[in-house]
C-alpha cells in the first residue's frame, strides 16, 4: 500500500472518522482506523460497534492495499503536520507517514481483526432527507435527550416519518422537544442513539441530500463521500403527541431574551443541576421566585402579554433556559393548562417556527 493525499483533506476526514471510534474500548481494535487504498481514493473505516463509518478521500494511489492503525495517533500526526501533502506507505508490519521533513512509523494491527460492516438488505425501506433539516432536528432536540436513562428508548432521537411531515423528538421523561417539518413521502421511523447524533453532526453538510435505508436493526445514512450504518435503539417510543395539551387556559407571550436573563439572575443563589424556580403568571407579568435555605431568596419580573387569573407553578429553571435557547423567534408563548400540567412553550407564530417544548412541573 502506498499513496499520497492532500493533508488538509485528510485531516478533515480523519477528524470526522474519529467520532465513530471508541476511546476506551474493551476491544482494542475499536480504537483503530482501517485504511483501504483502491482506485483513486482512500477509504477510512471506523466503528464502535454502534456506528459503522466509511469515508472516502481523494488520493493518488500508487499501490493498493489495506492497513489498520491507531486512530488517535494518526489524527494527531496529520493534524500537526507541516506539509501540503501526506505520503502513506506500508513497510512490513508498519505504516510509514511522511509529511514534509517529518517521518513516523506506526505499528499496525492485522486487518482481519477489524469488525465486518453491516450491509443494507435489498428490500430495505428508504427515504431522503435534506442535510440542513436533519441538522436542525438534531440541534432542536439533542439537549432533551439523556445519556443513560433506565428506559433505553429515551437515549436517542426519534425520527418519525408521517408521510407528509417528519417529526424529530427528544425526551427524558421530564421534558420534551418536538420539531416538525413538511416532507413528502418520508415514512421511516428511526430511533437514533445520542452518540450517533454527534457522529452525524460531524458528517452532514447543509447542502447534502441524504439517502436513508432502514432494516430492523440498522439505519444506513449515505452522504456525498461517506456512509454511516447506525445500530438503532430497540423498543417502542412513548406516544409523545398524547402528552401535548390540546387546550391551555393560561397563555403568556414573553420576550425570550428577557425571560432567559431573568431566569439566570434569580438562580444565581442556587447551586447544583436542579434549579427550582416558582413561575407566577399575573396581569402582564411573569414573576420569578427562588428560595434557597443556604443562600436566601431572589425575586424578579418580566413583562408579558397576559390577562387572566393568576397561576403559580414551580419548574426546573435549567430546563426552561435550555428550551428557550433553542427558539429563533423573539417572543414565545408560555402556556399552562392548570397547576399540575406541563408548561407548553411555542413560538409566537408556530406556523413560521414549528417547534415546541414541554416541561413538567417539579411537583410531578
Q: What is the pLDDT of residues 39-54, one digit of tens each?
A: 999 999 999 999 999 9
Are residues 160 and 76 part of one domain?
Answer: no
pLDDT band for position 165 (cuts 50, 70, 90): very high
Number of domains in the chain: 3
Q: What is the pLDDT of residues 337-363, one digit of tens each?
A: 999 999 999 999 999 999 999 999 997
45, 46, 47, 52 alpha-carbon torsion, rounded to 10°: -50
Q: State percent of the chain over pLDDT 70.
A: 99
Q: What is the pLDDT of residues 80-139, one digit of tens each?
A: 999 999 999 999 999 999 999 999 999 999 999 999 999 988 878 999 999 999 999 999
- CATH classification of the domain holding 197: 3.10.150.10
Are residues 349 and 318 part of one domain?
Answer: yes
Instruction: Using the 3D structure, point to which of 242, 269, 296 is the last residue of a domain.
Output: 242
Residue 212 lies in a domain: yes
364 pLDDT above the threshold of 60: no
Strands 285-292 and 226-231, by their bridges, are: unpaired
Residue 120 lies in a domain: no
Q: What is the pLDDT of residues 131-161, one digit of tens each?
A: 999 999 999 999 999 999 999 999 999 999 9
Q: Do the beta carbons of residue 321 and residue 259 sit within 8 Å?
A: no
Residue 27 lies in a domain: yes
Residue 364 lies in a domain: no
Are residues 257 and 236 part of one domain?
Answer: no
Domain span at 39: 2-113
Instruction: Using the 3D structure, point to which of 113, 137, 160 is the last residue of a domain.
Output: 113
313 pLDDT above the threshold of 70: yes
Question: Locate cell 460531524: which residue?
Answer: 202
Residue 118 lies in a domain: no
Are residues 295 and 254 part of one domain?
Answer: yes
From 99, 44, 50, select the one nearest 67 (Cα to Cα). 44
Are residues 185 and 89 part of one domain?
Answer: no
Q: What is the pLDDT of residues 249-258, one digit of tens each?
A: 999 999 999 9
Are residues 149 and 201 part of one domain?
Answer: yes
Instruction: Using the 3D structure, point to which of 222, 242, 262 is the last residue of a domain.
Output: 242
Are residues 254 and 236 part of one domain?
Answer: no
From 306, 317, 335, 310, select the one nearest 278 (Cα to Cα). 317
Cα separation, 51 vs 226, whole angstroms: 13
Q: What is the pLDDT of residues 28-83, one digit of tens each?
A: 999 999 999 999 999 999 999 999 999 999 999 999 999 999 999 999 999 999 99
Q: Do the beta carbons of residue 244 and residue 177 sit within 8 Å?
A: no
Residue 44 lies in a domain: yes
Amino acid at each position: 500500500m502506498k499513496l499520497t493525499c492532500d493533508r488538509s483533506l485528510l485531516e478533515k476526514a480523519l477528524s470526522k472518522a474519529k467520532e465513530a471510534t471508541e476511546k476506551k474500548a474493551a476491544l482494542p481494535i475499536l480504537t483503530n482506523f482501517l485504511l483501504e487504498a483502491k482506485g483513486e481514493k482512500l477509504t477510512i473505516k471506523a466503528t464502535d460497534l454502534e456506528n459503522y463509518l466509511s469515508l472516502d478521500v481523494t488520493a493518488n494511489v500508487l499501490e493498493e492495499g489495506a492497513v489498520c492503525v491507531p486512530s488517535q495517533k494518526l489524527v494527531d500526526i496529520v493534524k500537526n503536520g507541516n506539509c501540503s501533502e501526506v505520503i502513506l506507505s506500508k513497510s512490513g508490519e508498519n505504516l510509514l507517514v511522511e509529511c514534509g521533513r517529518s517521518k513516523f512509523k506506526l505499528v499496525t494491527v492485522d486487518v482481519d481483526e477489524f469488525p465486518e460492516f453491516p450491509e443494507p438488505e435489498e428490500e430495505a425501506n428508504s427515504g431522503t432527507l435534506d442535510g440542513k433539516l436533519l441538522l436542525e432536528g438534531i440541534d432542536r432536540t439533542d439537549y432533551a435527550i439523556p445519556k443513560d436513562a433506565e428506559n433505553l428508548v429515551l437515549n436517542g432521537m426519534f425520527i418519525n416519518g408521517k408521510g407528509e411531515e417528519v417529526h424529530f423528538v427528544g425526551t427524558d421523561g421530564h421534558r420534551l422537544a418536538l420539531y416538525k417539518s413538511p416532507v413528502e413521502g418520508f415514512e421511516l421511523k428511526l430511533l437514533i442513539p445520542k452518540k450517533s447524533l454527534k457522529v452525524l453532526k460531524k458528517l452532514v453538510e447543509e447542502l447534502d441530500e441524504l439517502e436513508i435505508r432502514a432494516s430492523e436493526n440498522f439505519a444506513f445514512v449515505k452522504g456525498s463521500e461517506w456512509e454511516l450504518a447506525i445500530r438503532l435503539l430497540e423498543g417502542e417510543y412513548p406516544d409523545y403527541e398524547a402528552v401535548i395539551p390540546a387546550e391551555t387556559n393560561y397563555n403568556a407571550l414573553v420576550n425570550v431574551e428577557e425571560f432567559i436573563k431573568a431566569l439566570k439572575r434569580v438562580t444565581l443563589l442556587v447551586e447544583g443541576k436542579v434549579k427550582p424556580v416558582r413561575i407566577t403568571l399575573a396581569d402582564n407579568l411573569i414573576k420569578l421566585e427562588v428560595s434557597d435555605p443556604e443562600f436566601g431568596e431572589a425575586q424578579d419580573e418580566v413583562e408579558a402579554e397576559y390577562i387572566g387569573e393568576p397561576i403559580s407553578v414551580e419548574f426546573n429553571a435549567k430546563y426552561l433556559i435550555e428550551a428557550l435557547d433553542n427558539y429563533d423567534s423573539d417572543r414565545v408563548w408560555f402556556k399552562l393548562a392548570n397547576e399540575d400540567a406541563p408548561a407548553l412553550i411555542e413560538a409566537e407564530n408556530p406556523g413560521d417556527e414549528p417547534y415546541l417544548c414541554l416541561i413538567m412541573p417539579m411537583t410531578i
